[in-house]
Amino acid sequence: MKENNFSKKSFISIDELTQSELTQIIKKARMMKNLEKQGKRYELNEALKNKRLASLFYEPSTRTRTSFETAMVELGGNLLGFAGTEGTSVMKNESILATVMMYWANHADAVVMRHPKDGAVRWASDVLGIPVINGGDGKNEHPTQALLDLVTIDEITPGINGTKIGFGGDLAHGRTVRSNAIALSKYDNITINWAAAQEFAMPNDLIEFLKNKGVKVNQYDTVEEVMKNSDIYYMTRPQKERIKDKTPQQVNEIMQKYRITLDKLTANPNIRILHPLPVDSSTAEIDTDVFFSKNQYFFAQAENGIFLRKALLYEILNGTESTTFNPNIEQIVANNREYLQSKEYNKGELLLDRIEHGIVIDHIPDGLAHTIDETLGFSKRGYKIMTLANAESSSLQQKGMLKITGATLTEREYKQIVEICPNVTFNIIKDWNVAEKFKYHLCQNDNCVTRVINEDVPPRFEEDGRCHYCGRK
C-alpha cells in the first residue's frame, strides 16, 4: 500500500481522512506507543529539532494542549503560544486573522488551535502558509480526539471493523461525539448504541448521516441496555458552557439517570469505559468509584493522545524545511452573493433613477430601515438617505426601501445589514442604473465564525450548500 503523504498538511476535519489515511496514522501512533513501552520515549527527539509549534488555545484545555506539548518536546521541538487569551492582544480586540499571522511571523512551523467559534480553525488554515491542526472549534469538531479514540478502540477491537460502541452523556452539544461517529462510519459493520436525556439526544442529522453510511444506530432507554449491547461505553460530559437555558444544577439532575456508576457496570462486566475527559466532578457523569474499577479505560485513552499527537506532528513536520514567513496573503473572496435579474429589475430602475451612484436596499421589513441607518451610521457620516415604502407590500407586513446616495459598502457592512434584515436585496447603482442586484446569504449557524462581525471572515459555501467553515447546511 502506498503511503499517504501528510507533509505540511492541515488537519481540520476528521471527514477529510480516508480509511487508508486513518489506518496509517493509527499505525504510527501505535509505533510511538511501542517506543514508549520499550523505554525509548526520546528515541525520535531529533525528528522535530528546531521546529516550533504554536499552541493557540482560546478556550481552556488540559489534555489536548498538554499532550501536544509533550509530543512536541519528546520529538525535540519547542512551543510558543497561549493558554487562554488573558495576557494577549486578543484583549485589545485583535482579530483571529491578525493573531494567527503573528505566530507564523514568529516562525511557527505549525499551529494547533482551539476556538469557541465553529469554523474558526479552518479560517486560520485558509489564511496561513503553515499547517493548522484543529484542537477543537466551538461545537463543531475535535478531530485529534476522534483519532486518539480510534487508536484506543483499535486496542480493544483490533481493526475497528465490527465495533459495538455505546454513547452516553451529552450527545447534543459536544463536538467529540460528532467527530468520533464520523470517524467510525468509515469502518465496516459498526454499531452505535445510545441512551441520553431528551435534551442531550443524538442530533437527527448525525443519525441520518450515520445510517446513510451503513452504521447501525440504536437508541435505548437505559445505560444498562446500552452496556449489554456494547463492548465499549463512550461517556461524555454535559457541555454546561454551551447550554445557556439550564442552570448547572438542572443539568446535573437531568444527567442523574445517565451517570455511570459501579452498579450499572454489572450489566456488562467486560465493558470498557472511555471518556474524552474532563469528567465534570459536579455532575459526576462517571462516578469516582468507577475511576478505580477494571472497566476504567479513559486514562489509558488519554495517554494515547500523546502517541497520536506525536504521530501526527511527525507525519506533518518531520523532514520538512523550516517555513518562511510570507505575509503577502491573498484575499479569500466571499461566494455568498446570489445575483438576481427578476421582474423587479425594471421596476427598480424606475424607482431608483433619482440616484446617480449608491446603494438601494430593498425588501426591508417595516421600521428596520431606521435601525440599519442607526447601526451603520450613514446619516451621521453625511450620506444622503431616503426611505420609501414599497407599494407592493401589504399593510400588515409593509416593506421598505433605503437609498444611500454615493455609498459603497464593505463586506462587514453587508453582514451588519443582513444580521438586522436577513432577506433584503441589494442594488448597486452606477450611472443611474442598477449595475448589480443580489441577495447576501449568511450561514444559518449563529455560532459560525462567519457570523462574528469583527472577524470579517468572508461567507463561503461549498457546492452542496454547506458552509465552508462550520460545515452546516
- Site for a second copy (CB under 8 A): which residue of 47, 156, 284, 420? 284
- Site for a second copy (CB under 8 A): which residue of 16, 444, 454, 473? 454
- Site for a second copy (CB under 8 A): which residue of 19, 46, 84, 392? 84
What nine digits make up the cell of 358? Answer: 449608491
- Considering the complex, state which of residue 221 and residue 321 has its C-beta at the smaller distance from a second copy: 321
Positions in 86-125 near a second copy (CB under 8 A)? 86-95, 97-99, 101-103, 105-107
Stretch that binds a second copy, among 146-154, 221-229, 324-332, 366-374 (CB under 8 A): 324-332
Q: Does the protein bind a second copy through residue 319 (CB under 8 A)?
A: no
Positions in 413-452 near a second copy (CB under 8 A)? none
Smallest separation, CB 282 to a second copy (Å): 5
- Site for a second copy (CB under 8 A): which residue of 19, 161, 189, 410? 410
Given a contact cutoff of 8 angstroms between Cβ atoms, the answer to whether 393 and 399 are in contact is yes
- Site for a second copy (CB under 8 A): which residue of 73, 267, 340, 388? 73
Positions in 145-164 near a second copy (CB under 8 A)? none
Smallest separation, CB 308 to a second copy (Å): 13
- The contacts of residue 232 (CB under 8 Å, 6+ apart) are 153, 156, 157, 163, 164, 165, 166, 271, 272, 274, 297
Positions in 327-386 near a second copy (CB under 8 A)? 327-331, 377, 380-381
Smallest separation, CB 197 to a second copy (Å): 14
Smallest separation, CB 219 to a second copy (Å): 22
- Considering the complex, state which of residue 209 and residue 383 has its C-beta at the smaller distance from a second copy: 383
Stretch that binds a second copy, among 4-12, 129-137, 157-165, 409-417 (CB under 8 A): 409-417
Stretch that binds a second copy, among 116-124, 158-166, 287-295, 430-438 (CB under 8 A): 287-295
Smallest separation, CB 366 to a second copy (Å): 26
- Site for a second copy (CB under 8 A): which residue of 287, 349, 366, 373? 287
Q: Does the protein bind a second copy through residue 394 (CB under 8 A)?
A: no
Given a contact cutoff of 8 angstroms between Cβ atoms, the answer to whether 99 and 73 are in contact is no
- Site for a second copy (CB under 8 A): which residue of 120, 197, 277, 407? 277
Q: Does the protein bind a second copy through residue 204 (CB under 8 A)?
A: no
Q: Does the protein bind a second copy through residue 266 (CB under 8 A)?
A: no
- Site for a second copy (CB under 8 A): which residue of 19, 34, 62, 222? 62
User: What span, in angstroms and rounded, lies between the C-alpha atoms of 63 and 79?
Assistant: 16
- Considering the complex, state which of residue 167 and residue 307 has its C-beta at the smaller distance from a second copy: 307
Stretch that binds a second copy, among 133-141, 164-172, 340-348, 453-461 (CB under 8 A): 453-461
End-to-end CA distance of the chain: 36
3-state DSSP of the chain: CCCCCCCCCCECCHHHCCHHHHHHHHHHHHHHHHHHHCCCCCCCCCCCCCCEEEEEECCCCCHHHHHHHHHHHHCCCEEEEEECCCCCHHHHCCCHHHHHHHHHHCCCCEEEEEECCECHHHHHHHHCCCCEEEEEECCCECHHHHHHHHHHHHHHCCCCCCCEEEEECCCCCCHHHHHHHHHHCCCCCCEEEEECCHHHCCCHHHHHHHHHCCCEEEECCCHHHHHHCCCEEEECCCCHHHCCCCCHHHHHHHHHHHCECHHHHCCCCCCEEECCCCCCCCCCCECHHHHCCCCECHHHHHHHHHHHHHHHHHHHHCCCCCCCCCCCCCCCCCCCEEECCCCHHHHHHHHHCCCCCEEEEEEEECCHHHHHHHHHCCCCCCCEEEEEECCCCCCCCCEEEEEEECCCCCHHHHHHHHHHCCCCEEEEEECCEEEEEEEECCCCCCCEHHHCHHHCCCCCECCCCCECCCCCC
Q: Does the protein bind a second copy through residue 258 (CB under 8 A)?
A: no
Count of residues that bind a second copy according to CB under 8 A: 91
- Considering the complex, state which of residue 182 and residue 443 has its C-beta at the smaller distance from a second copy: 443
For residues 33 to 52, the per-residue mask of contacts with a second copy, x marking binding by CB under 8 A and - elsewhere, is ---xx-x-xx--x----x-x
Positions in 289-308 near a second copy (CB under 8 A)? 289, 291-292, 294, 296, 299-300, 302-303, 306
- Considering the complex, state which of residue 15 and residue 287 has its C-beta at the smaller distance from a second copy: 287
